[in-house]
């Protein structure tokens, strides 16, 4: 899997590509270690994602509070010392551009696996107990017809700054740095391709982070490989290493300067990885990178290009700006019943929303006076008010309510399902309903009855007593209000207890106990 002789990996890449066998590869920056996995989708130890596919699940929102994430940036004096080494090399003419990087300790309650699962980026790679990468930057794409392209990224700015796009595009230092990298990558591709040209020059990409977003400047370079490119694809990749965008120009003297200034190996940080799917190859530069040492400590690796015009304080701030986790912020929804223009039981809903935002973001959420938001056409009859929110409310919409009648309900078991908070992501619940092939399901977890897919359930016994399961996926506002008022009681209800009851009520914010659907237990026939 890991090889100290990178030429073994090069040879394996050539052989597999020639035979149209998929593979995953990676080279570290120093070119003294490489990774190769044939048919990588058949294993689940090392997870990856590229634009051609991968073996990982799509990124999902974090399911735990992360407000204790902190980064301890390199002291300015230390960075300045290393910056001056690079600046002297530039002044001597050893280089025109040098990529200088930093290693920043990270304190977080997240594992690198959790970071991987929740990061959204075009190029993602997870190696257990070693590193995780969530890179926005392509190295090269080789299409089936031999078209090779790359999109070097050079130049970043805080997206929240006034006129940020204009500022980054008009900055002379950034312009010169970008031109140098484009010229370098154009020459790299020219070693194996013909008709090399710049298809797009200095376009802007927005990269969203958990706390902030940045604008990234990129260009697109294209060329054409020979018809037999597969038989030498490993050599083509190796010829271009290390990647120009994260080393500098000219490469040999620049790499020597980097070794002197950084005084430690980068390892796989600023290396490259890629995936061949049997037809085409896509690869990314290993930036936006967190490594784990032998003691379990985490470090964020980031850097920036240094030219003769670079200012040390500006470069220091840029390095810090790139330290972020592009984790997907969870989104939640709250449904409130509106009757004849009056929102119902708002206090219960706000309490639940605050529990959610305090858990994930550490603060209450500000909910406006909903009665002032109701449109005129929603002031008569029964309407559903749906609020979508994260740290803040994102949208409020009102729609006429039509009750959905269940003609079929299945009992289905899933011991791993979790819906503690009312997330907008209902994929697991939808999956269970689809599996059952019914209108709804009653979910059993660890032998205990919980909820239906979008309702709490209440069981009626032979004496007319009303009981809701102690175990629940989501404590609904209607359920809690009925408990508070003594209308229903909690009871441990196991799978084998269901037949002891006569009827089941399906309740939620839109369907109170006196108006919801009531179903005979004997009609629940499907058992999974």
What CATH number did the domain enclosing 22 receive?
3.60.120.10
Spatial separation of the C-alpha atoms in residues 289 and 200, rounded to whole Å: 27
Residues 97 and 46 in one domain: yes
Residues 497 and 444 in one domain: yes
Give yes or no: residues 33 and 84 share one domain.
Answer: yes
Q: Quick one: 390 and 451 in the same domain?
A: no
Which CATH number fits the domain that encloses residue 426? 3.20.10.10
Residues 317 and 338 in one domain: no
Q: Distance between terminal CA atoms of the chain?
A: 41
Question: Do 137 and 11 belong to one domain?
Answer: yes
Q: SS3 for 310-350, per residue?
A: CCHHHHHHHHHHCCCCCECCCCEEEEEEEECCEECCHHHHH
HSE, CB side, 13 Å, CA atoms: give it for residue 159: 14
As a whole number of angstroms, the distance between CA 59 and CA 56 comes to 8
Q: Cβ atoms within 10 A of the Cβ of 176, count?
A: 16
Domain boundary among 274, 300, 321: 321
Q: Distance (Å, rounded) from C-alpha 86 to C-alpha 94?
A: 10
Q: Which residues contact 493 (CB under 8 A, 6 or more apart)?
A: 448, 449, 459, 467, 469, 470, 471
Number of domains in the chain: 3
Q: Are 29 and 265 in contact (CB under 8 A)?
A: yes
Tell me which of 321, 347, 373 is where a domain ends: 321
Asked if residue 115 and residue 30 are part of one domain, the reply reads yes
Render each residue's pLDDT in the chain as its tens digit; 528 residues: 999 999 999 999 999 999 999 999 999 999 999 999 999 999 999 999 999 999 998 777 666 655 556 778 888 999 999 999 999 999 999 988 899 999 988 888 888 998 898 888 899 999 999 999 999 889 999 999 999 999 887 777 777 777 888 888 888 877 877 888 888 889 999 999 999 998 888 888 776 655 557 787 888 899 999 999 999 999 999 999 998 888 877 888 999 999 999 989 999 999 999 999 999 999 999 999 999 999 999 999 999 889 888 899 989 888 887 787 766 677 899 999 999 999 999 999 999 999 999 988 888 999 999 999 999 989 999 999 999 998 889 889 898 998 888 889 999 999 989 899 998 878 789 889 988 999 999 999 999 999 999 999 999 999 999 999 999 999 999 999 999 999 999 999 999 999 999 999 999 999 999 999 999 998 886 555
Measure CA 359 to chain center: 20
Give the CATH number for residue 388: 3.30.470.10
Note the helical H segments in 205-281. 233-239, 251-262
In 3D space, the residue among 372, 272, 210 whose CA is nearest the CA of residue 24 turns out to be 272
Same domain, yes or no: 470 and 387 = no
Residue 204 within a domain: no
Alpha-carbon distance 129 to 240, whole Å? 28
CA distance 156 to 168: 7
Nearest CA to 284 among 412, 165, 159, 139? 139
Query: Mind listing the pLDDT tens digit for each residue in 292-331?
Result: 999 999 999 999 889 888 899 989 888 887 787 766 677 8
Separation of alpha carbons 216 and 99, rounded Å: 16
Q: 347 is in which domain, residue-wise? A: 332-400
Do 316 and 374 fall within a single domain? no
Q: Is the pTM value of this prediction over 0.75?
A: no
Tell whether 259 and 292 lie within a shared domain.
yes
CA distance 452 to 469: 11
Q: What does the alpha-carbon distance between residue 399 and residue 510 come to, in Å, rounded to a whole number?
A: 12
Domain boundary among 256, 286, 321: 321
Same domain, 91 and 126: yes
- CA–CA distance from 420 to each of 113, 468, 472 (Å)? 22, 17, 8
Residues 6 or more apart whose CB falls under 8 angstroms from that of 160 comprise: 212, 213
Q: Is 410 helix (H, G, I), strand (E, B) or coil?
A: strand
β pairing state of 272-276 and 248-249: unpaired
Contact 479, 488 (CB under 8 A): yes
Whether 246 and 317 map to the same domain: the answer is: yes
Tell me how far apart the alpha carbons of residues 523 and 364 are, in angstroms, rounded to a whole number: 43
- Measure the CA–CA gap between 120 and 499, rounded to whole angstroms: 46
């Amino acid at each position: 899997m890991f090889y100290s002789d990178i030429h073994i990996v090069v040879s394996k890449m050539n052989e597999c590509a020639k035979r149209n066998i998929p593979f995953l590869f990676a080279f570290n920056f120093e070119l003294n270690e490489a990774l190769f996995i044939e048919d990588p989708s058949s294993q689940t130890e090392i997870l990856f994602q590229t634009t051609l596919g991968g073996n990982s699940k799509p990124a999902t929102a974090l399911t735990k509070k992360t407000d204790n994430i902190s980064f301890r940036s390199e002291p300015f004096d230390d960075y300045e010392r290393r910056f001056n080494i690079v600046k002297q090399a530039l002044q001597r003419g050893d280089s025109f551009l040098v990529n200088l990087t930093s290693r920043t300790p990270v304190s977080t309650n997240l594992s690198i696996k959790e970071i991987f699962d929740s990061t959204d980026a075009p190029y993602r790679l997870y190696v257990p107990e070693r590193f995780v990468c969530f890179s926005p930057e392509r190295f090269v794409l080789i299409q089936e017809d031999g078209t090779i392209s790359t999109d070097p990224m050079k130049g970043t700015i805080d997206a929240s700054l006034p006129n940020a796009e204009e500022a980054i595009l008009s900055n002379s230092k950034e312009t010169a740095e970008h031109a140098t990298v484009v010229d370098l990558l154009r020459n790299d591709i020219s070693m194996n391709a013909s008709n090399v040209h710049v298809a797009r020059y200095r376009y802007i990409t927005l990269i969203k982070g958990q706390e902030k977003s940045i604008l990234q400047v990129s260009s697109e370079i294209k060329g054409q490989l020979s018809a037999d490119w597969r038989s030498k694809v490993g050599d083509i990749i190796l010829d271009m290493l290390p990647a120009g965008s994260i080393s500098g120009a000219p490469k040999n003297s620049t790499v020597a300067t980097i070794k002197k200034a950084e005084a430690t190996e980068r390892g796989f940080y600023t290396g490259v990885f890629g995936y061949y799917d049997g037809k085409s190859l896509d690869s990314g530069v290993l930036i936006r990178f967190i490594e784990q040492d032998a003691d379990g400590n985490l470090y964020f690796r980031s850097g920036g290009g240094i030219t003769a015009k670079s200012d040390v304080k500006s470069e220091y701030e840029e390095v810090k700006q790139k330290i972020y986790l592009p984790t997907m912020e969870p989104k939640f929804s709250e449904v409130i019943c509106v009757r004849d223009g009056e929102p119902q039981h708002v206090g219960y809903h706000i309490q639940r929303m605050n529990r959610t935002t305090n858990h994930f973001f550490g603060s209450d959420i500000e909910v406006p006076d909903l009665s002032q938001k109701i449109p005129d056409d929603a002031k008569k009859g029964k309407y559903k008010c749906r609020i979508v929110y994260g740290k803040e409310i994102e949208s409020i919409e009102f729609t006429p309510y039509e009750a959905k009648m269940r003609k079929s309900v299945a009992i289905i078991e899933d011991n791993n399902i979790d819906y503690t908070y009312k997330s907008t992501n209902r994929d697991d619940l939808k999956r269970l309903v689809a599996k059952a092939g019914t209108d709804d399901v009653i979910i059993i977890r660890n032998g205990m009855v919980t909820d239906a897919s979008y309702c709490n359930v209440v069981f009626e016994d032979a004496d007319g007593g009303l009981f809701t399961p102690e175990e629940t996926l989501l404590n609904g506002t209607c359920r809690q209000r009925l408990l508070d008022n003594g209308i229903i009681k909690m009871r441990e209800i196991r799978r084998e207890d269901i037949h002891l009851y006569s009827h089941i009520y399906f309740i939620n914010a839109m369907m109170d106990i006196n108006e919801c659907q009531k179903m005979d237990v004997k009609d629940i026939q499907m058992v999974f």
